[in-house]
């Protein structure tokens, strides 16, 4: 089992920045792809960003390209999401995710979920 704890959410004005963190514990390894999904009220959960086990490969949803940056510290079993130029439409609960062998870009690829952290962007 892998446990994911995601933190760092909060409230910010449009144009501002937030940094999310996700710490993994349990049966983790550098073969796990990790990332974030988000779910806004009344909407389905959607892919935001993902990173490979080595940290050398990343994936971004078109809606966040150029504004969000994912990074990984393998020795700490942690990933970070720097969110800049935030927009009101980024408001959602953000979930850290992990999957063995693949970058989780679809809900069907996700093996483990964090508990979620709320991000609210006011316009």
Reported as a pLDDT band with limits 50, 70 and 90, residue 27 is confident
Which pLDDT score is estimated for 101?
A: 86
Q: What is the pLDDT of residue 86?
A: 98
Query: Has residue 28 got a pLDDT over 80?
Result: no
Q: Which two tokens stand for residue 47?
A: 């892919």
| Model confidence pLDDT, tens digit, residues 76-105 | 889 999 999 999 999 999 999 999 989 999
Specify the pLDDT at position 75.
87
pLDDT interval class at 74 (50, 70, 90): confident
- Quick check: helix, strand or coil at residue 108? helix
HSE of 94, CA atoms in CB hemisphere, 13 A? 31
**Structure confidence at residue 112 (pLDDT):** 96
Q: Which two tokens stand for residue 48?
A: 């935001």
Cβ–Cβ contacts within 10 Å for residue 108, how many?
7
In this prediction, residue 29 has a pLDDT band, given cuts at 50, 70 and 90, of low
């Amino acid at each position: 089992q892998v446990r994911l704890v995601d933190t760092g959410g909060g409230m910010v004005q449009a144009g501002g920045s937030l940094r999310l963190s996700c710490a993994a514990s349990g049966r983790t390894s550098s073969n796990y792809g990790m990332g974030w999904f988000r779910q806004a009220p009344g909407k389905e959960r959607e892919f935001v960003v993902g990173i490979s086990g080595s940290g050398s490969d990343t994936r971004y949803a078109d809606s966040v390209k150029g504004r969000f940056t994912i990074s990984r510290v393998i020795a700490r079993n942690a990933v970070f999401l720097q969110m800049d130029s935030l927009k009101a439409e980024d408001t959602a609960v953000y979930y850290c995710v992990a999957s063995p062998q693949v970058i989780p870009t679809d809900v069907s690829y996700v093996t483990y979920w964090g508990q979620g952290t709320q991000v609210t962007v006011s316009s």
